[in-house]
Structure 1
């Protein structure tokens, strides 16, 4: 344990007594040297209980739930975090290292400020307002109707307008796009914007249900239909979704033998349980979702062509996050604020950290972004998220310099935006094609290629 000159120690103790905030000093090994009267009053502990004790021992005994002093000794830099004291108070602690001539940490001086009352007032304000900062980037797509959609990019705003147009009708909708891009969120919005919003919304992952059970799960079965069947039979998911909506996720994984029966439901809105001759009418809005190219599955003979055309009456493609960079910033703010509020942890992202996150290409799309924001809020002890807190593969962007998308990808993106702008400005395909100086059929082909239906 560090030996501190008695005179220096007495002078230091005299100085810190003047501080209105709590002050806590440990040596380079983590043993308590000094505390002031403000800390005694704040914590309810006497300094005689603390001086000479190691911070790890105080954490283990439950006096505090975590130690910023030990964190500073580990990182050798200033650190801040929220701490819970034994008496139930919440405090913000900021530890500063004091170095000797050899560059080793000799002391850690920590300031301690009570935020118990501040947290209580903040909670009351949030409750009184009824709204929080989480809502500031949400895109309202119907009168007084909140769908939790976040759309800042032109591409996503076009999609939002499209679902607002089609949601009131019972038309089948196919949602396509890479994993994690937000297909389920779009499906939720379609259901909420329809007149079925107060009816069941059943979600089925076709890839998660064993092939042998999928037919009986979707359409139900009669008593004794097969070994192990429940006595009295069982209603299928289509029956349970009657008058509502059903989402068939991973539709490309549906077995070929089940496809004919699903086609019959789409055509006639009637279901027939396994082992039954009786046909039951249902009124169900069907939304399908996939991250596969269904046209390719049709060509391979893995998906019926007639079923494909029944599923994609309205085809909506959700682009990956890298194609809508305008959404990245608002999504980062939204999810970071969401988890800060949910877990009541007051943290912030440093500007350099956000800059790295904006440059990252997010291969896991919105799901990856959401999970990373939760990870940063709950696992980083510091109150300020620094670039070094980010995963190594994102930190590397600092040395790699600005990321540049391939020229062909940038040109395709620009071409798409120019075409969509022309379509918004002109009333017909032909008028837009003339303005762009291209043939009408070429424009139609491009729109089909992009899965765009203005």
Structure 2
């Protein structure tokens, strides 16, 4: 670039409010304006004459759009972080000669740090606002939120807050899906061990032959296939923290005896080892079985049972606490709408149907159904016919519908699903094997006189 053109360009870019950065065809810095100096905190004397590769390596920015433009010979944009921590969006434009060779690359630089910060604060404010609407969220100080609107769950929460600071063993019992792991998380998070490891073990998921070595570790050469340098067990890894033994009722008798020794002596002996290793671990166990019955049947050690059950926290099924079910429906439906960034709503008759359902799968079933409704129903308004048949049939039975009403309800569900899938009356009618005008009349009738929900 000749000197006259250089000076004219330098004068022009000074008028730009955004940062401007100019390099030659070799990505060597030619010009920067004052706006860029102010934005980046760098002096032009430190930049001019240096290549973008050198400047990137020296940390003036984390990546260069000019290098990409040189490779592609077309305009490119990307996010860039400057040396002073500011986030900018940079757009590089090539200036080509009559032979298609790059003479210059002119890059505009715009600060978006404030925009990103405002966006993050807005999302945080929205989240806090929504949480404040749900007063049944019980904040367990540092722990996660527990939905406890019923008296039964409020008693569970109070018990957790009472026992969590002490290192004693806790047994959490209740049917599958009620949230035993959530309560275990709360106990750990409210304890003085909250900054230490929290290791969770599903005793039913690990084969009996492997469970001992997984829990207590093994020494080198302890068995065929053992690692040459041995392996620390989960109790050693949890030292200073907490271990959750889920499905403790499925633990084989041989491992029960060794677990009892760990709880009594606070030491573990690796498989094939002779030297006990001291451990400081809080044990939380969880089960959906009746451990007392297992003790009576000779399938669970009585002495281990009493070691684990120093404090027992029983979580009742969701069918016994309908107030929590109502709160959980609202919470998880809103949670998944927010997570997947969709604005859907549950129609009131849909909510009424859900409130009547006994939730045999407890919180896990409810949570999964709310996610299913948010992601799989194309309509923005979720109606009763969008619910699974077994949920609808519960409401049908409760209201003692006639056969004609139930058939009409089922027909409406099939038709609405076909319309959602095919997008038009004509295609839906063809798929269902009915006349187009018949389908239109049916939908019109349901609109004017909807079946009992």
Question: Residues of 2 paired with 1:358 and 1:310: CA distance?
Answer: 40
Which residue does the alignment assign to 2:157?
160
Which residue does the alignment assign to 2:113?
none
Three-state SS of the structure 2 residue aligned to 1:396 is: helix
Q: For 1:229-248, what aligned pairs fall within 5 Å after superposition?
A: 229-248=226-245
Which residue does the alignment assign to 1:261?
258
Pair 1:252–1:302, CA change in 2 (3 A): same
**Structure 1, residues 174-201: CA drift from partner, whole Å, max 9, x if none?**
0111000110000001001111111100
Which residue does the alignment assign to 1:275?
272
Pair 1:329–1:155, CA change in 2 (3 A): same
Pair 1:222–1:361, CA change in 2 (3 A): same
| Equivalent pair of 1:247/1:287 in contact (CA under 8 Å) | yes
| Equivalent pair of 2:197/2:240 in contact (CA under 8 Å) | yes
Which residue does the alignment assign to 1:393?
390
Q: CA deviation at 1:326?
A: 0.8
Aligned to 1:139, which of 133, 137, 140? 137
Three-state SS of the structure 2 residue aligned to 1:204 is: strand
Bigger Rg, structure 1 or 2? 2
**Structure 1, residues 16-60: CA drift from partner, whole Å, max 9, x if none?**
xxxxxxxxxxxxxxxxxxxxxxxxxxxxxxxxxxxxxxxxxxxxx
Q: For 1:168-207, what aligned pairs fall within 5 Å after superposition?
A: 168-207=165-204
Q: What TM-score comes out, normalization by structure 1 length?
A: 0.60
Matched, 1:358 2:346: no
| Equivalent pair of 1:347/1:377 in contact (CA under 8 Å) | yes
Pair 1:397–1:255, CA change in 2 (3 A): closer
Question: Residues of 1 paired with 2:184 and 2:191: CA distance?
Answer: 11
Matched, 1:384 2:381: yes
Q: CA deviation at 1:127?
A: 3.6
Question: Residues of 2 paired with 1:373 and 1:262: CA distance?
Answer: 39
Q: For 1:402-441, what aligned pairs fall within 5 Å after superposition?
A: none
How many aligned positions are there? 282
| Equivalent pair of 1:176/1:291 in contact (CA under 8 Å) | yes
Q: CA deviation at 1:399?
A: 2.5
Q: CA deviation at 1:131?
A: 1.9
| Equivalent pair of 1:201/1:247 in contact (CA under 8 Å) | yes
Which has the higher mean CA deviation after the structures are superposed, 262-271 or 394-403? 394-403
Q: For 1:275-424, what aligned pairs fall within 5 Å after superposition?
A: 275-401=272-398
| Equivalent pair of 1:246/1:286 in contact (CA under 8 Å) | yes
Q: CA deviation at 1:398?
A: 3.5
| Equivalent pair of 1:134/1:338 in contact (CA under 8 Å) | no
Q: For 1:79-98, what aligned pairs fall within 5 Å after superposition?
A: none
| Equivalent pair of 1:141/1:160 in contact (CA under 8 Å) | no
Q: For 1:197-236, what aligned pairs fall within 5 Å after superposition?
A: 197-236=194-233
**Structure 1, residues 63-120: CA drift from partner, whole Å, max 9, x if none?**
xxxxxxxxxxxxxxxxxxxxxxxxxxxxxxxxxxxxxxxxxxxxxxxxxxxxxxxxxx
Gaps of 5+ in 2: 1-117, 401-453
| Equivalent pair of 1:220/1:273 in contact (CA under 8 Å) | yes
Gaps of 5+ in 1: 1-120, 404-454
Pair 1:141–1:402, CA change in 2 (3 A): farther
**Structure 1, residues 354-401: CA drift from partner, whole Å, max 9, x if none?**
001010000000000000000000000000000000001111234323
| Equivalent pair of 1:137/1:334 in contact (CA under 8 Å) | no
Pair 1:178–1:402, CA change in 2 (3 A): farther
| Greater length-normalized contact order (CA 8 Å, ≥ 6 residues apart) | 1
Question: Residues of 1 paired with 2:130 and 2:138: CA distance?
Answer: 15
Which residue does the alignment assign to 2:39?
none
Pair 1:158–1:402, CA change in 2 (3 A): farther
Question: Residues of 2 paired with 1:332 and 1:200: CA distance?
Answer: 32
Q: CA deviation at 1:299?
A: 1.1
Which residue does the alignment assign to 1:88?
none
| Equivalent pair of 2:356/2:395 in contact (CA under 8 Å) | no
| Equivalent pair of 2:143/2:185 in contact (CA under 8 Å) | no
Question: Residues of 2 paired with 1:134 and 1:273: CA distance?
Answer: 46
The alignment's C-alpha RMSD in Å is 1.8
Three-state SS of the structure 2 residue aligned to 1:354 is: helix
Which residue does the alignment assign to 2:419?
none
